[in-house]
Amino acid sequence: MTDKSLAGKTAVITGSSRNIGKATALALAADGANVVVNGISDQETLDATVKEIEAAGGTALGILADASNKEGCDTLVGAAADTFGSVDIVVVNASTRGQKPFLEMSHEEFRKVIDLTLDSAFFLCQAAVPHMQKAGWGRVVTLGGVSTYVGMPDRIHNLAGKAAIVGFTRGIAREFATDGVTANVVAPGATETVRPASAGAGNNRAAMNIPVGRLGDVKEMAATIRFLCQPEAAYITGQTVHVNGGLYYGT
């Protein structure tokens, strides 16, 4: 690791023991940030991610916590502040991806997905933003998704939650701009990830008709998040950055 543009900064990344969250943790650690890696129940995978960061010369702390509630988010932010002395970056990545036809979907199933998407952002930002205000510097990055913009059957709860996160992020961007805090959404396209059975079948390249002819890589999503966390990205806020191989052009 040679580029230490985030040296002295601390990042809390929810859902970061695998997939896009893990790739983001590795990327920010490579820039010198202290990283709090989060999972909800898989201690082995969490520990493996921390060890991978440390083996590459980075600094990481693994915390099992449920990022969908206040207690979990307070635990993450508190551990970051107590261990590293600051909380400068939060990446709201934790989510759940259910799949069910709308007319078969219960209201409980609908709310479960939306609540996790929004509550994790609400509680994490409420805990972390005061630290950013005190420092006069902060980065908030939330994860959206291309399906919100192009539509997708059987995932109305996911689409609704990810659409709402855009409004939430813009509100954070506007309210805390004068505190040196930026807030942006990264909206990944179809990405090659390890998916639970509840998320449904994997992405079908032909069905999605991706112009570049392939699925995205988690490292490509992480690279965009990484850029938005840089000091040089201070003039970018309230934006949704689409990373989808040309599937949606953001018009």
Residue 63, beta-bridge partner list? 38
All domains of the chain in start order, with CATH: 10-243 (3.40.50.720)
Per-residue confidence at 87, pLDDT binned at 50, 70, 90?
A: very high
Convert the pLDDT of each residue in 171-184 to its tens digit: 999 999 999 999 99
Predicted confidence band at 204 (pLDDT cuts at 50, 70, 90)?
low
Distances (CA, A) of 33 to 30, 68, 191, 251: 7, 24, 25, 34
- The pTM of this model reads 0.93
CB 233 within 8 A of CB 227: yes
Average pLDDT over residues 56-80: 97
pLDDT for residue 242 is more than 80: yes
Number of residues that this document lists for the chain: 251
Contact present, 88 and 80 (Cβ < 8 Å)? no
Computed over every residue of the chain, the mean pLDDT equals: 92
Which residues are registered as beta bridge partners of 13? 37, 91
| Residues facing 184 on adjacent strands | 141
Q: Residue 11 belongs to what H/E stretch?
A: strand 10-13
Sign of CA pseudo-dihedral 92, 244, 180, 30: positive
> Torsions phi, psi of 188, nearest 5?
-70, 150
- Write down the pLDDT at residue 47: 97
Non-local (6+) Cβ contacts of 130 within 8 A are none
